[in-house]
Amino acid sequence: MNYDFLRIEQDWQEAWENGLKYKVEEVEGKPKFYILDMFPYPSGAGLHVGHPLGYIASDVIARYKRHKGFNVLHPMGFDSFGLPAEQYAIQTGQHPALTTKANTNRYRDQMKKIGFSFDWSREIMTSDPSYYKWTQWIFGRLFQAWFDRDAGKARPLSDLVTAFETNGNFSVNPACDDNWFKGLDMSLFPHFGENFAGTFTATDWNSFNKAQKSVLLMQFRLAYLADSEVNWCPELGTVLANDELKDGLSVRGGHPVEKKKMRQWMMRITAYSERLLSGLDDVNWTDSIKEAQKNWIGRSEGVVVKFRTSTGKSLKVFTTRPETIYGVSFIVLAPEHELVRELTTEANHQVVEQYLIVSGRKSERERQGDKEVTGVALGGSVLHPLTGNEIPVYIAEYVLIGYGTGAIMAVPAGDERDWKFAKHFNIEIPAIFDGFDTDLGVCSDDTAILKGSKDLNGKSKKDAITAAIEILESSGHGEKRVNYRLRDAVFSRQRYWGEPFPICYVDDIPQLIEDKLVNLPSVDAYLPTADGEPPLARAAKEDWPVFKGDRMETNTMPGWAGSSWYFLRFMDPHNSEAFCDRSKSDYWGQVDLYVGGAEHTTGHLLYSRFWTKFLNDMDLIGFDEPFKTMINQGMILGRSSFVYRVKGTSKFVSFEKRKEYQVQRLHVDVNLVDNDKLDLEGFKAWREEYADAVFILGDDGTYTCGHEVEKMSKSKYNVQTPDELVEKYGADTLRCYEMFLGPLTQSKPWDTQGISGVHNFLRKFVRLVSSAEDKDASVEELRIVHKTIEKVSSDLERHAFNTVVSAMMIAVNELGGLKESCSNSALKDLVILLSPYAPHLAEELWKEVGGEEFVIDAVWPEADSQYLVADEVTYPVSFNGKVRFKLTLPADTPADEVETIARLDENTLKHMDGREIHKVIVVPGRIINIVG
RNA sequence: GCCCGGAUGGUGGAAUUGGUAGACACGUCAGACUUAAAAUCUGAUGACCAAACGGUCGUGCGGGUUCAAGUCCCGCUCCGGGUACCA
């Protein structure tokens, strides 16, 4: 039998499809396994060889679990809203839906050719109205919800309204901005007056009109509108992301960019900070990802300390080092801090304004990149709460408005940045650490003893913190607080190709449009309007499939909206009554294994955890972490090939002789190179300029190329699409090879050099089966097969995909080396082991060895322990750790007997050469070590 | 700077709890088959010394623990990724 992979793969893909082999339904009583890949954005370039890496791994596990009797859910879909399609639409005028359709078709075809066991009947696309209808619906739930801090969970907004109606906001504790009441438009609430501190009574509430209630409720919704600063580029008429900026100019076109406050939809993810942190204990992810999320959430415990300003107001600072309170010699505010103008004296007015202009022009990223000490004194001061000393106030870029209270108490003796700042502005550095001259440098010793700190003198950091908190709290100057670095997420995009919001405005009050899908309207161009409104503002009233109120919301949702809940939709993809029927999500539950790149750590993985927790709070699903176990595959790098052109000629010299000439190194398409040997004719035909190339060959008569590992990229001609490899070697070879490359989680170079070895292995397998006979299996065969069953099963359980291929190679080599031909019965088990990796070939061989039905449904074999134990053990005998000779003994020889035999062996006597044996260590079954 | 990974032959990698370092594969070399090539098969292949038996060295570097270290501990170097004036 020949290995005709093209025919085999086509036949079986058809057979599976005709038999609906990968269609899956809930089956009561059968254990489920939900295995999911991070779904791709369908770009115009098609799938490259790096994409399938994770998909193959998950497919191997999906098929393995199927063999093990699980009901396996293994779906695939597309994250199909996104910028590239919109960019293309701007250039060509083609509707992004069309581009997206073409691209998804290509991706699907490519994936089908690789033989994945995806249930394509469950395919979803985030840009499909039947899908984003539910993204809008979930947004609606978030809009109609608040987070009850006392209960630690989200609740329907109606509960909050009831609370307000009965007791104002006195007896509820909703998650909100600390200063929510400061941002209110007070003209709406004339009777609150200037000193409004954020409390209102039931009588107040009940007297409010619709607009007033709407504004107040907006402060507590989980999806809410707020003014947020964006990078506005007037020239382009659009908002730019941080990566689209450089040196205060837009990357595209180099136009000036300014900060602008814009009314934007936000997601109150910060309400979930604590649960997002503690939930990490319940998932089986790598420590590095958990660590990154922890850092991103950035929990820190500290104290908010109040300082009284010279103008009589209270200035709050957040500190994690309250014990250094006596070392405070100045205060620094973020330039945007609300008290800046108030604390600026006449004399300093001009320099302060100057500083505000300069820092205001910089992007956040630039400000943070600048290591130079900058800042100015305001002239105003505050009083130290414990000493009563007058303390000057500065502004500086290194203090961020968005973190803590936007103000710090500077302790130059204990903080590097404060120290530099003090030195730069010649500010006093109070000495508060015993035995440290902090005029010379910062004290970073945690065991340092405090001095010059009144009640705290003589204490070390840990004790002093407790004492300082006690002092500050009891005197009313401070209170403990847990602070998070995590910020609420901006949920608006000024783009066309995203989910429209199910929101309209009536008298400027946002209204949720329920029970109606808000479809994207058609527009004449995908650009912002002349006055900077998002593209959707181009749609006239009649262009909107659904139009309500005075006007529709014209922002769209960000890329992460659809991907935050797609794993739920796969469970019930065609439901038009609900986002996902509860009985389905109860059956399938959490994703048991999630496979994808680590680059989504602080985006997708955090947002989908947030939405999952929310949906769980609303009792819409029964679990509160989406992804139980996760594997992150590594990056694939490209192996580029080079030719060497003799300068100024069209002569090309082979790698080994390149140093004899003056040469230019040029990238050459890797498809023209096989094992570093250049296809000369192919090269000439590649490009016109090489048509008359002349080659200076190596001594072996071939042209050898140079090579280097670098990022896989079109411009480096090192991109490999799976298509070519599937054509040349077959999908089964590609699947095995991608797994054989190395550990899945490590990033590694893509190099097709080794692919022939894997292809060879499959051919050897074919030959082995062709020559097999119907007869009883020999003990030798069974030993090999059962050893392999054991190895393959345990490797799959620990997700070691690469060593499985090696183990099967070894089995094939060993079986092929036996004197007798193999028996079909022994090979049957081996074919099942092969099927997760090379499913097409396994089906074909399954027929050969007399298997019934489809191999993909065969029961995974169990290793029989009687074939795993060897009769004999070959002990390496080492002397002081160095192996000198081998000793073969019956496997059941007791340890003391092994020792006696080893001691008396003539080789031992020779090696000891008359020296005395001090000690003999026998590790049964493993090693003997003689010390002497 | 901080956090997280990683470093093993010419190459990708294996060694799962401390127990024969280099499995498996590529490449290279030699051989068989062949008019020849391809395909296939067999053998060799970490470095150094040796005709051979065998020996010495060897898992980024320097120390340490241990009968025994790629694996554990301490201190570094380099590479990759993430993140950043976070109070």
Contact A595, A631 (CB under 8 A): yes
DSSP E strand stretches across A798-916: 872-879, 882-890
CA distance A119 to A1: 32
Query: Do the domain assignments include residue A237?
Result: no
CATH number at residue A740: 1.10.730.10
Residue type, A445: D
A675, closest nucleotide (Cα–C1'): B27
Q: What residue type is A248 in one-letter code?
A: G
Residue A591: per-residue pLDDT? 96
If asked whether residues A880 and A785 sit together in one domain, one would say no
In contact, A716 and A638? CB cutoff 8 Å: yes
A760 and A833 in a single domain? The answer is yes
Rounded, the Å distance between the CA of A926 and C1' of B67 is: 14
How many residues does the structure list for chain A?
932
What is the gyration radius of the CA atoms in chain A, in angstroms?
A: 35
Kindly indicate the confidence band of residue A569, based on its pLDDT and cuts at 50, 70 and 90.
Answer: very high
Residues A322 and A377 in one domain: yes
Instruction: Tell me the one-letter amino acid at A552.
Output: M
CA torsion sign for A98, A103, A108, A110 is positive
Residue A379, beta-bridge partner list: A344
Is A293:A602 a contact under the CB 8 Å cutoff?
yes
In angstroms, the CA A428 to CA A793 distance is 68
Query: How far are the Cα atoms of A205, A277, A283, A284, A800 from residue A745, in angstroms, in the given order?
Result: 56, 24, 18, 15, 10
Treating both helix axes as pointing N-terminal to C-terminal, what angle do A5-18 and A96-113 enclose, rounded to 10 degrees?
Answer: 110
Q: With contact defined as beta carbons under 8 Å apart, do A569 and A561 qualify?
A: no
- Average pLDDT over every residue of A415-439: 90
H or E element at residue A765: helix A755-770
Q: How distant is C1' of B76 from CA of A295, in Å?
A: 27
Residues A433 and A342 in one domain: yes
Residue type, A212: Q
Highest mean pLDDT among A42-51, A160-169, A722-731: A160-169
For residue A396, the Cα-to-chain-centroid distance in whole angstroms is: 34
Q: For residue A445, is it within any domain?
A: yes
Assess whether pLDDT exceeds 90 at residue A379.
Answer: yes
pLDDT at residue A121 is higher than 90: yes
Instruction: Identify whether residues A738 and A857 lie together within a single domain.
Output: yes
Mean pLDDT of A623-645: 86
Does residue A158 sit in helix, strand or coil?
helix
- Asked if residues A642 and A606 have their Cβ atoms less than 8 Å apart, the reply is no
* A294: nt with nearest C1' to CA: B3
Q: Is residue A315 part of a domain?
A: yes
Whole-angstrom Cα distance, residue A836 to residue A807? 14
Specify the amino acid at residue A72: V
For residue A71, the domain's CATH number is 3.40.50.620
Taking residues A809-813, what's their average pLDDT?
94
Please, which pLDDT band fits residue A242 given cuts at 50, 70 and 90?
Answer: low
The separation, in Å, between residue A895 CA and nucleotide B74 C1' comes to: 36
Nearest to A443 by CA among A332, A327, A318: A327
User: pLDDT exceeding 90 applies to what percent of chain A?
Assistant: 58
Cβ within 8 Å of residue A582, ≥6 positions away = A620, A621, A622
A800 CA vs B15 C1’ separation (Å): 13
Domain boundary residue among A841, A868, A895?
Answer: A868
pLDDT at residue A849 above 90? yes
Is residue A289 situated within a structural domain?
A: no
Q: How far is the CA of A808 from the C1' of B24 (A)?
A: 9
State the Cα angle at A321 between A290 and A452, rounded to 5°: 160
Instruction: Please report, rounded to whole angstroms, the spatial distance between the CA atom of protein residue A816 and the C1' atom of nucleotide B31.
Output: 21
Using an 8 Å Cβ cutoff, are A610 and A564 in contact?
Answer: yes
* Whole-number Å distance between alpha carbons of A36 and A13: 21
pLDDT at position A364 is 64
Length A715 CA → B27 C1' (Å): 27
Q: Are residues A459 and A339 in the same domain?
A: yes
What are the DSSP calls for A163-223, one per residue? HHHHHTTSS--B---TTGGGSS-GGG-GGG-TT--S---HHHHHH--HHHHHHHHHTTBSE
CATH number at residue A901: 3.10.20.590
CA distance A738 to A725: 11
CA A698 to chain centre: 47
Domain-located, residue A855 = yes
Do A582 and A729 fall within a single domain? no
- The gap between A899 CA and B64 C1' (Å) is 30
Give the tens place of pLDDT for each residue, A177-207: 888 888 788 888 988 887 788 899 999 999 9
Is residue A521 assigned to a domain?
A: no
Tell me the pLDDT band of A10, cut-offs 50, 70 and 90: very high
Nearest nt to the CA of A324 via C1' is B87
Q: A704 CA to B45 C1', in Å? A: 22
Residue A147 near residue A83 (C-beta atoms within 8 A): no
C1'-nearest nucleotide to the CA of A398: B85
CA A555, A558, A562, A565 dihedral sign is negative
Residue ranges of E strands in A484-558: 489-490, 503-506, 509-512, 551-552
Task: Please indicate, yes or no, whether residues A732 and A705 belong to a single structural domain of this protein.
Answer: no
- A159 within some domain: no
pLDDT tens, position by position, A853-864: 999 999 999 999
Q: Are A655 and A741 within one domain?
A: no
Which nucleotide, over all strands, has the C1' atom closest to the CA of A421?
B85
Residue A233 confidence (pLDDT): 80
Q: Give the Cα separation of A156 and A162 in Å (integer).
A: 10
The identity of residue A96, as a single letter, is P
Q: Contact at 8 Å (CB) between A841 and A892? A: no
Q: Residue A376: which H helix or E strand, with range?
A: strand A376-383
Nearest-nucleotide field for A761 (CA, C1'): B25
Q: Residue A711: pLDDT above 80?
A: no
State the CB neighbour count (10 A cutoff) for residue A880.
Answer: 11
Distance of CA A239 to the CA centre of its chain: 25
Residue nearest to nucleotide B84 (CA to C1'): A368
Please tell me whether residues A706 and A725 are part of one structural domain. Answer: no
Tokens 């161009």 locate to A525
Instruction: For residue A883, report the phi and psi dihedrals to the nearest 5 degrees.
Output: -70, 130
Residue A20 has pLDDT above 70, yes or no: yes
Distance CA A556, CA A462 (A): 49
The residue among A415, A449, A483 that closes a domain is: A483
**Nearest CA-CA partner of A697 in A645, A665, A652, A664:** A652
- A816 closest-nt by C1' vs CA: B41
Q: How far is residue A137's CA from residue A486's CA, in Å, rounded to a whole number? A: 26
Q: Which two tokens stand for residue A818?
A: 């036996």
| Three-class SS of A822-855 | CEHHHHHHHHHHHCCCCHHHHHHHHHHCCCCCCH
Q: For residue A86, give every residue at least 6 positions away whose Cβ sits within 8 Å of its Cβ, in sequence order, or none.
A: A96, A495, A496, A497, A526
Q: At what angle do helices A731-740 and A839-848 cross, to 10 degrees?
A: 120
- Give mean pLDDT, residues A119-136: 97
d(CA A932, CA A918): 5
Residue A37 to residue A49: CA distance in whole angstroms: 16
A40 CA – B49 C1', rounded, Å? 57
Domain identity same for A337 and A407: yes
Nearest protein residue to B14's C1' (by CA)? A803
Using the predicted structure, report yes or no on whether residue A460 has a pLDDT greater than 90: no
Residue nearest to nucleotide B28 (CA to C1'): A675
Provide, in whole angstroms, the distance separating residue A733's CA from nucleotide B39's C1'.
Answer: 18
Rounded-to-integer distance, Cα A85 and Cα A93, Å: 11
Closest C1' nucleotide to A368's CA: B85
- Starting at the edge strand found earlier in the chain, the sheet holding A32-37 runs A71-73, A32-37, A593-596, A630-632
Question: pLDDT at residue A243 above 70?
Answer: no
Q: Which nucleotide does the CA of A485 lie closest to, via C1'?
A: B86
Are A27 and A10 spatial neighbours (Cβ–Cβ below 8 Å)?
no
Same domain? A647 vs A611: no
Are A525 and A535 in contact by the 8 Å Cβ rule? The answer is: yes
* Residue range of the domain that includes A381: 300-483
Residues A40 and A51: beta-carbon distance below 8 Å: yes
Q: What is the mean pLDDT of chain A?
A: 90
For the residues A719-723, what does the mean pLDDT come to? 83
Task: Identify, with chain letter, the residue nearest to nucleotide B23 (CA–C1').
Answer: A806
The C1' atom of B80 and the CA atom of A741 lie apart, in whole Å, by: 18
What does the alpha-carbon distance between residue A714 and residue A719 come to, in Å, rounded to a whole number? 6
Cβ-Cβ contacts under 8 Å for A764 (sequence gap 6 or more): A812, A813, A816
pLDDT in tens, A46-82: 888 888 899 999 999 999 999 999 999 999 999 999 8
pLDDT band at A402 (very low <50, low <70, confident <90, very high): confident
Distance between CA A725 and CA A755 in Å, rounded? 9
Q: What is the pLDDT of residue A211?
A: 94
Q: Which residue is nearest to nucleotide B24 (CA to C1')?
A: A806
Last residue of a domain, one of A425, A460, A483: A483
Token pair for A689: 């300029």
Pairing of the two strands A630-632 and A593-596: parallel
Q: For position A46, what pLDDT does the model report?
A: 83
Q: Nearest nucleotide (C1') to the CA of residue A407?
A: B87
Q: Is residue A552 part of a domain?
A: no
Q: How far is the CA of A888 from the C1' of B43 (A)?
A: 26
In the predicted model, what is the mean pLDDT of residues A260-277? 92
What's the domain count of chain A?
5
Do the Cβ atoms of A135 and A557 come closer than 8 Å?
A: yes
pLDDT at position A363: 63
Bases along strand B below 7 A from a protein CB: 3-6, 11-16, 19-21, 23-29, 40-42, 55-56, 67-69, 80-87
* Sign of the four-CA dihedral A557, A561, A566, A572: negative
Give one word for A242, left, alpha or beta, with left for phi > 0 and alpha for psi -120 to 50: alpha
pLDDT of residue A730: 94
Among A92-101, A495-504, A762-771, A918-927, name the one with the lowest average pLDDT.
Answer: A918-927
